[in-house]
Copies of this chain bind each other. A is one copy, B any other.
Amino acid sequence: MDSHNKNAPIAVEPEADAVIDDAILHQFVGYHMRRAANLLQADMARTLKEIDLRMITMSVLVVVVDNPGLRQSQLADALAIERPNLVSILDELESRNLVLRTRVPTDRRAYALTPTAAGRTLAQRALALTTEHEDRVLAGITPEERSTLVSLMQRIGSASGDA
């Protein structure tokens, strides 16, 4: 039954509970990155749901808390978000009274972003929840391995490590 024809549909036996051969995809970093990122993102979303924040919403809030007076374009650059995508995030944070947009006197095009007291409090809670989340999801990885992982990921995309 060596019937591997070349142009016919080939009525192959469905391999029932056979093991799927993923080997070729596994050689790619991107494949594992997608799965890991997806796993982290799913658990993180579940975690932050408790305080009704999304991943990026929380990132924005935390950065505003640590950098009061920041302008939107600076924030977008810092977090690698496109300016348009920041708008709805800030709309949400502002409507929940966590962040304020106030006109910059010296440049009336820009807004200065400042956290409210509620924003600072929620940021603290968000950081605690995020820490719990990472400790849970990364339980199988030692602190040293964690920093290795981080520094390797930081080097992705930068042509050479140090040159």
A20 near B78: Cβ-Cβ < 8 Å: yes
Copies in the complex: 2
A154 near B32: Cβ-Cβ < 8 Å: yes
Interface size class of A (residues with CB under 8 A): 35 or more
Q: A84: CB under 8 A from chain B?
A: no
B156 near A40: Cβ-Cβ < 8 Å: yes
Chain B: which residue is nearest A30 at the CB level?
B40
18 CB contacts below 8 A, A to B, read: A6-B117, A9-B102, A11-B105, A12-B114, A14-B107, A20-B70, A20-B74, A21-B66, A30-B41, A30-B134, A32-B150, A33-B36, A33-B40, A33-B153, A34-B55, A37-B37, A38-B80, A145-B152
